[in-house]
Amino acid sequence: MGKIKSVKFKLNRFEYVKPFHITNNISYDTENIEVAVELDNGVVGYGEASPSFRVNGEKVAALMGLESVVNDMIVGMDVRQYRQIFDVTDKLFSTPSIKAAVQYAVLDAFSEETGVPVYQILGGAKTKIETDYTISIGSIEERVEEAKQIVERGHNVIKVKVGENLEEDIQAMMAIYEVSKGCKYIVDANTGYTPKQAVKFVTELYRAGIDIHVFEQPVAMHDIEGLKYVRWNSPFPVAADESARTKYDVMRLIREEAVDYVNIKLMKSGISDALAIVEMVKAANLRLMIGCMAESSLGVNQSVHFALGTGAFDFHDLDSPLMLKEPEFRGKYKVDVPYYFV
């Protein structure tokens, strides 16, 4: 029948292979919530929430308490009418990672029932994507060594975390460039700069002949005027990440002409808002990238299928499973670094 019988939450903890350092935050491990949606015919679909207090204001303990709430919301609904379930779960706007995990688990259950992979349910635009790999904040020497290792592993796109020390970030970026020429760079300040600092950063790199493909979230989350200032004074495309959580955020960014790129993360928006954002950004003739929080292979599986299904993204920042110690790989995709494919 395809009707939902139960929704169950399970807490999983994963350690990072090495500490992950971004602006004003260092992570040694992550706690994610596995969501299982069971149908009345025994079929089970899976999703994963990777909560973020920094971006979404979410705490794991609070989210685990939503299991009974979610059951009350969707038990008895038919996954073949998943848009109706999306409309109901859109009410989870204050807990977007749970919204994403539940919505994807519904699609996964529908996929298991019908035998049609989720990426085909979402459009089947591609069968292969390429992920970047991220250099976290550290000493210049540590960042250069990591850049060498990333190149050796075959990655063509490198994401570089900056935002704590402007002058050191400029020096580090120049040093990274020297050992990774030919790669494409996404530079992410994670809200760490003032607008004028951000403009100085990109201007110095431009003068040095270093090309940045995306300059991501240079200023504070709610500083849309600052984001716009950077965009119109930067030689490189500027992206919103923390500033672009919901479709309503993105509508404002488009209206204010504040960005060139929007970074969709399912953990910020859920599946339903992400689908809307794709079409809004396309209509505005802007560009898209897709990112992740700290999802395991089970969680990044959601973004891989979303990216393959929509085919909407220039860049795929989906490297979190490559950074975590996982007892088993649980994605419904294959890995041949730097490629994910089905």
Provide the annotated active-site residues.
Answer: 161, 265
Percent helix, strand and coil across the chain, each rounded to 5? 45, 25, 35
Phi and psi angles of residue 29, each rounded to the nearest 5 degrees, phi first: -155, 175
Is 241 annotated as belonging to a binding site?
A: yes
Distance in angstroms (rounded) separating the CA atoms of residues 28 and 33: 17
Encode 232-249: b = buried (16+ Cβ within 10 Å), e = exposed. eebebbbbbbbbbbbbeb
Residue 126 has a CB neighbour count (10 Å cut-off) of 16
Is 132 annotated as belonging to a binding site?
A: no
Q: Which class for 325: exposed (0-12), middle (13-18), buried (19 or more C-beta within 10 A)?
A: exposed
User: Is the link from the previous residue into 327 a cis peptide, with omega within 30 of 0?
Assistant: no
Give the chain's largest Cα–Cα span: 63
Encode 176-187: b = buried (16+ Cβ within 10 Å), e = exposed. bbebbeebbbbb
Distance in angstroms (rounded) separating the CA atoms of residues 305 and 119: 4
SS (H, E, C) 178-213: HHCCCCEEEEECCCCCCHHHHHHHHHHHHHCCCCCC
The angle, 0 to 180 degrees and rounded to 10, between the axes of the packed helices 82-89 and 266-283 is: 110
End-to-end CA distance of the chain: 28
Is 328 annotated as belonging to a binding site?
A: no
Structure tokens at 271: 């599946």
Q: Which class for 16: exposed (0-12), middle (13-18), buried (19 or more C-beta within 10 A)?
A: middle
Residue stretches of the annotated binding site: 188, 216, 241
Residue stretches of the annotated binding site for Mg(2+): 188, 216, 241
